[in-house]
């Protein structure tokens, strides 16, 4: 079976064509003209082996034929990269001594493209060491840095060029461009502080969750709770930086797992892999945890679970599942980009050596594609031999075209937005956060509110009619994941004229958009796009969610989603209105977040100002053949550093006699102004003393000044 190894590099410059615009001018006056040239250079790395498995040398551009979507392409250049397999390691570097400079402050560099007049990267193997400091505890950071140092001292060959990159929550730092200067590489690794950037743990909410205030996000920004999105976005940035170089690049990703949890955007995962494919980068994730022999309820690095899962085995199952899922994402980005993940081995050096040995002789073919449309569609590439040679070719067999959704007329805008929704290569120009909740309406149906939040600073303002205006288009679809059919469509538009004061406020606050649908129990996927009409920038959010069948819940108290909020607004007091808002207001009676003419606005990011109250809302259900008069009790607790620092008085609620579901809406107002800013765990506890049942819900929150 043919294995696609690497690589496509797209250098967008713009396609050939010239246009002359004339005007009436006086005789002899110089006439101006506009010359517009557009081209897209596609670079393919091709490995050629004969039937005996040996590399074939001495080929030229005439020996290859390239087609793109069946259309023949003209090869503009062909270059052979010769990397001998028997290259000897450089003489071993002695331990760091006084002759090696220690850099007190790590420099910030850029990946420099290869100058035309120099062969800086020719016949070299390019390895980028990428340390994700946010996921690795100090012990894992030490293990990763030690493996990198050992490789540079003992395994680095004359053909190797190494770059050092670091991510510690704020940005991707290029500490060193590709170099074979071992002294400089070792000194930078020695200067990296073990423990920096650590503390961004997964925001899990299941039976394995420790009974302690867990950290979430990398800094105090409201949208940074989505830490896996940020890690994947950082990887995408690194891949684009490495894309400045035409040769194959191997990015060795040192991390302690990478888990996509329920609040993360799967569109970012696709965008990261697609960026790597375009840049000719293969991911080689190395799990810095090594071989883990996990205790059933977790090790000493976390607190014990504080719920009933401790006794039912659910905590053990969730703990194991979390660990496996953290490796699944690493496996996915490796396999989809052409690399290989390295798991469950304490010798991390072996993973680096595998990546080193995977890059061997190859040819770089470059052509200017004849299809210059920037539509984001997938383009299939076929490469064959023209000289009759029977050979096995390994190469990346396609790429996604560049996307341009900027200046169109109204018809084009609508068509391009629909095309963007259908693209397999998502667009992530705008940051989008989403919360999906569910509330039971009757025995069969559930109301599903969908809340979307976009940072206001990412939206552009236009000056029209003397006033500033912002305009956003929304489109999306909800699909049944089992049947694959679409159950709901989303299409809306927001346009709002803003005063000077409101326009200034927009840069500091997010935009929230909400809608809601009635669904049956099941598993669904949602893909949602938002487009800033002023700039054409698009953001995508993609995830799966499950609507449980609460009628079958017997071992615990049945309850809806829990909504955390700091805002209640009147229905007619919305700052931003949409075309479908008036239509949706006809169905507000079905929305449990609307009460007494006011709507509860979910937080989505769960970042709150400690000077404002936190509202907690959910519904409990007690379905019985006859109306029940036995109450339930519920209370809310905030934990920090393993201790309960705030707890409400227990509230009792009797099931509604008018509802066969026995609906019990529960509201809590948390006055947190006396608490210190920081990270907390919010836990909701529901008790049914009569039936001897309980239920727990927990999520991390952050209080800011």
- Per-domain residue ranges of the chain: 8-21+33-82+363-400, 125-206+217-298+327-358, 406-563, 606-705
Alpha carbon distance, N-terminus to C-terminus of the chain:
58
420 by Cβ neighbours in 10 Å (0-12 / 13-18 / 19+) ranks as: buried
Q: CA-to-CA distance for 697 and 320, rounded, in angstroms?
A: 20
Q: Which of 115-119, 150-154, 182-186 has the lowest mean pLDDT?
A: 115-119
Residue 477 contacts residue 421 (beta carbons within 8 Å): yes
Q: Which of 84-93, 175-184, 621-630 has the lowest mean pLDDT?
A: 84-93
Q: Which CATH class is domain 406-563?
A: mainly beta
What's the pLDDT at 39? 59
Comparing 666 with 373, which gets the higher pLDDT?
Answer: 666
Does residue 261 carry a pLDDT above 80? no
Q: Which residue in 553, 532, 562 sits closest to 700, CA to CA?
A: 562
Q: What is the DSSP string of 427-459?
A: -BSS--EEEE--EE-SSS-EEEEEEEEEEGGGS
> Residues 582, 584, 586, CA angle at the centre, nearest 5°?
85
Q: Return the structure tokens found at 413.
A: 């805008």
| Residues paired with residue 129 on neighbouring β-strands, in sequence order | 164, 252
Average pLDDT over residues 264-280: 81
| Residues paired with residue 570 on neighbouring β-strands, in sequence order | 598
Does residue 382 carry a pLDDT above 90? yes
**What percentage of the chain exceeds 70 in pLDDT?**
72
What's the pLDDT at 586? 52
Does residue 286 carry a pLDDT above 90? yes
Q: CA-to-CA distance for 600 and 349, rounded, in angstroms?
A: 53
Residue 90 contacts residue 372 (beta carbons within 8 Å): no
What's the pLDDT at 215? 27
Q: Return the structure tokens found at 614.
A: 């936190």
Q: Which residue in 129, 136, 168 sits closest to 251, CA to CA?
A: 129
Q: Which of 253-262, 280-289, 516-525 has the lowest mean pLDDT?
A: 253-262
The secondary structure element, H or E, covering residue 475 is strand 467-480
DSSP state, residue 55 = B
Query: What angle, rounded to 10 degrees, do the helices at 266-278 and 314-337 form?
Result: 30
Query: Which homologous superfamily is 125-206+217-298+327-358 in?
Result: von Willebrand factor, type A domain (3.40.50.410)
| Residues paired with residue 361 on neighbouring β-strands, in sequence order | none
368 by Cβ neighbours in 10 Å (0-12 / 13-18 / 19+) ranks as: middle
Average pLDDT over residues 427-439: 85
6-58 residue pLDDT tens: 333 322 222 333 333 333 444 454 555 444 445 578 888 888 888 888 888 88
| Residues paired with residue 511 on neighbouring β-strands, in sequence order | 454
Q: Return the structure tokens found at 336.
A: 């989809």
Q: Cβ–Cβ contacts within 10 Å for residue 680, how many? A: 24
Q: CA-to-CA distance for 390 and 53, rounded, in angstroms?
A: 11
Name the pTM for this structure.
Answer: 0.60
What's the pLDDT at 563? 92
Residue 227 contacts residue 214 (beta carbons within 8 Å): no
Q: CA-to-CA distance for 586 and 244, rounded, in angstroms?
A: 54
Q: Which of 204-213, 344-353, 401-410, 494-503 has the lowest mean pLDDT?
A: 204-213
What's the pLDDT at 252? 93
Name residue, tokens 């959910």. Answer: 618
Per DSSP (E only), the strands in 110-256 are 125-132, 160-167, 172-179, 249-255
Q: CA-to-CA distance for 436 and 469, rounded, in angstroms?
A: 29
Average pLDDT over residues 489-508: 72
Q: Which of 34-43, 172-181, 597-606 has the lowest mean pLDDT?
A: 34-43
207-220 residue pLDDT tens: 444 433 222 222 33
| Residues paired with residue 558 on neighbouring β-strands, in sequence order | 621
Residue 328 contacts residue 294 (beta carbons within 8 Å): no
Residues 6+ apart with CB under 8 A from 379: 68, 69, 369, 371, 398, 399, 400, 401
Give just the sign of the alpha carbon dihedral 669, 672, 677, 683: negative
Comparing 537 with 182, which gets the higher pLDDT?
Answer: 182
Does residue 171 carry a pLDDT above 60? yes
Would you say the CATH fold of 606-705 matches that of 125-206+217-298+327-358?
A: no
Q: Return the structure tokens found at 213.
A: 């205030």
pLDDT band at 523 (very low <50, low <70, confident <90, very high): very high
Q: Cβ–Cβ contacts within 10 Å for residue 327, how many? A: 18
Query: What angle, rounded to 10 degrees, do the helices at 348-358 and 138-154 form?
Result: 50
Q: How many helices (H) and strands (E) does the chain have?
A: 10, 35
Q: What is the DSSP string of 102-123?
A: P-SS-----PPPPPTT--SSTT
| Residues paired with residue 375 on neighbouring β-strands, in sequence order | 403
203-254 residue pLDDT tens: 444 444 443 322 222 233 555 554 567 788 888 888 988 988 888 899 999 9
Comparing 534 with 137, which gets the higher pLDDT?
Answer: 137
Alpha helices, DSSP H, located in 404-562: 410-422, 500-506
pLDDT band at 572 (very low <50, low <70, confident <90, very high): low
Report the SS3 class of residue 601. Answer: strand
Residues 6+ apart with CB under 8 A from 476: 421, 489, 490, 491, 526, 527, 528, 529
Q: Which of 108-117, 441-450, 533-542, 591-600 has the highest mean pLDDT?
A: 441-450
Query: What angle, rounded to 10 degrees, do the helices at 182-191 and 138-154 form?
Result: 170
pLDDT band at 67 (very low <50, low <70, confident <90, very high): very high
Q: Which residue in 297, 284, 289, 401 sits closest to 351, CA to CA?
A: 284
User: What does each C-alpha distance from 692 to 560, 632, 654 come to in angstroms?
Assistant: 19, 11, 16
pLDDT band at 350 (very low <50, low <70, confident <90, very high): very high
Does residue 466 carry a pLDDT above 90? no
Q: CA-to-CA distance for 264 and 434, rounded, in angstroms?
A: 9
Average pLDDT over residues 541-570: 88
What's the pLDDT at 94? 59
Q: CA-to-CA distance for 340 and 286, rounded, in angstroms?
A: 9
Q: Return the structure tokens found at 139.
A: 């012990």
What's the pLDDT at 311? 58
pLDDT band at 262 (very low <50, low <70, confident <90, very high): very low
Report the SS3 class of residue 54. Answer: coil
Q: CA-to-CA distance for 562 and 327, rounded, in angstroms?
A: 29
Q: Return the structure tokens found at 646.
A: 């705030």
Q: Which residue in 122, 197, 188, 129 sits closest to 163, CA to CA?
A: 129
Residue 141 contacts residue 195 (beta carbons within 8 Å): yes
Q: Which residue in 334, 185, 155 sits closest to 250, CA to CA?
A: 334
Q: Which residue in 621, 635, 452 sits closest to 529, CA to CA?
A: 452
Comparing 513 with 317, which gets the higher pLDDT?
Answer: 513
Comparing 499 with 167, which gets the higher pLDDT?
Answer: 167
Q: Domain 606-705: give its CATH architecture.
A: Sandwich (2.60)
What's the pLDDT at 446? 92
């Amino acid at each position: 079976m043919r294995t696609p190894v690497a690589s496509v590099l797209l250098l967008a410059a713009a396609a050939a064509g010239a246009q002359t615009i004339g005007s009436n001018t006086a005789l002899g006056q110089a006439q101006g003209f506009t010359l517009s040239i557009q081209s897209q250079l596609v670079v393919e790395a091709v490995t050629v082996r004969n039937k005996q498995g040996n590399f074939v040398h001495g080929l030229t551009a005439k020996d290859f034929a390239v087609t793109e979507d069946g259309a023949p392409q003209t090869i503009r250049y062909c270059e052979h990269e010769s990397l001998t397999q028997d290259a000897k390691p450089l003489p071993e570097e002695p331990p760091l001594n006084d002759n090696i400079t220690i850099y007190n402050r790590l420099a910030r560099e850029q990946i420099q493209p290869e100058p035309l007049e120099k062969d800086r990267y020719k016949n070299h193997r390019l390895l980028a060491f990428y340390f994700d400091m946010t996921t690795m505890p100090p012990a894992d950071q030490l293990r990763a840095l030690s493996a990198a140092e050992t490789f540079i001292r003992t395994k680095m060959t004359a053909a190797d060029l190494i770059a050092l990159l670091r991510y510690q929550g704020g940005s991707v730092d290029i500490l060193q461009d590709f170099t074979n200067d071992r002294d400089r590489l070792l000194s930078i690794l020695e200067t990296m502080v073990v423990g920096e950037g650590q503390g961004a743990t997964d925001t899990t909410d299941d039976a394995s969750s420790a009974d302690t205030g867990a950290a979430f996000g990398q800094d105090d920004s409201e949208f940074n709770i989505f830490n896996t999105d940020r890690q994947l976005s950082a990887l995408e940035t690194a891949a684009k930086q490495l894309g400045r170089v035409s040769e194959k690049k191997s990015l060795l990703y040192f991390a302690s797992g990478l888990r996509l949890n329920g609040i993360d955007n799967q569109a970012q995962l696709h965008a990261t892999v697609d960026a790597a494919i375009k840049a000719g980068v293969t991911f080689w994730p190395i799990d810095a945890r090594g071989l883990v022999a996990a205790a059933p309820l977790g090790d000493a690095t976390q607190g014990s679970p504080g719920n009933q899962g401790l006794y039912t085995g659910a905590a053990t199952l969730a703990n194991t599942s979390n660990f496996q899922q953290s490796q699944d994402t690493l496996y996915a980005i490796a396999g989809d980009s052409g690399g290989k993940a390295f798991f469950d081995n304490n010798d991390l050096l072996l993973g680096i050596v595998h990546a080193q040995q995977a890059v061997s002789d190859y040819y770089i073919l470059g052509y200017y594609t004849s299809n210059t449309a920037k539509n984001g569609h997938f383009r299939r590439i076929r490469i064959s031999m023209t000289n009759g040679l029977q050979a096995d070719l390994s190469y990346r067999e396609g790429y996604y075209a560049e996307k341009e959704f900027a200046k169109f007329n109204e018809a084009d805008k609508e068509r391009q937005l629909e095309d963007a929704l259908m693209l397999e290569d998502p667009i992530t120009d705008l940051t989008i956060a989403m919360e999906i909740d569910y509330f039971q309406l009757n025995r069969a149906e559930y109301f599903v509110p969908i809340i979307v939040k976009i940072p206001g600073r990412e939206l552009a303002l236009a000056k029209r009619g003397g006033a500033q205006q912002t305009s956003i288009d929304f489109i999306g679809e909800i699909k049944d994941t089992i049947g694959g059919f679409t159950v709901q469509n989303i299409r809306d538009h927001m346009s709002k004229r803003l005063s000077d004061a409101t326009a200034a406020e927009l840069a500091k606050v997010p935009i929230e958009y909400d809608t809601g649908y009635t669904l049956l129990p099941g598993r669904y996927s949602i893909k949602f796009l938002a487009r800033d009409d002023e700039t054409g920038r698009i953001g995508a959010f993609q995830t799966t969610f499950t609507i449980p069948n609460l009628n079958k819940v017997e071992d615990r108290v049945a309850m809806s989603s829990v909504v955390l909020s700091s805002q209640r607004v009147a229905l007619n007091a919305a700052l931003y209105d949409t075309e479908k808002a008036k239509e949706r207001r006809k169905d507000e009676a079905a929305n449990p977040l609307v009460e007494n003419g006011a709507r509860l606005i979910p937080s989505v990011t769960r970042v709150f100002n400690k000077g404002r109250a936190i509202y907690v809302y959910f519904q409990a259900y007690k379905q019985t053949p006859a109306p029940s008069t036995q109450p339930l009790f519920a209370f809310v607790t905030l934990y920090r550093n393993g201790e309960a620092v705030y707890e409400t008085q227990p509230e009792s609620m009797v099931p509604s006699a008018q509802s066969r579901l026995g609906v019990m809406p529960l509201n809590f107002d948390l006055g947190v102004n006396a608490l210190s800013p920081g990270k907390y765990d919010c836990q909701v506890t529901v008790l049914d003393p009569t039936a001897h049942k309980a239920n727990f819900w927990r999520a991390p929150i952050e209080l800011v000044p």
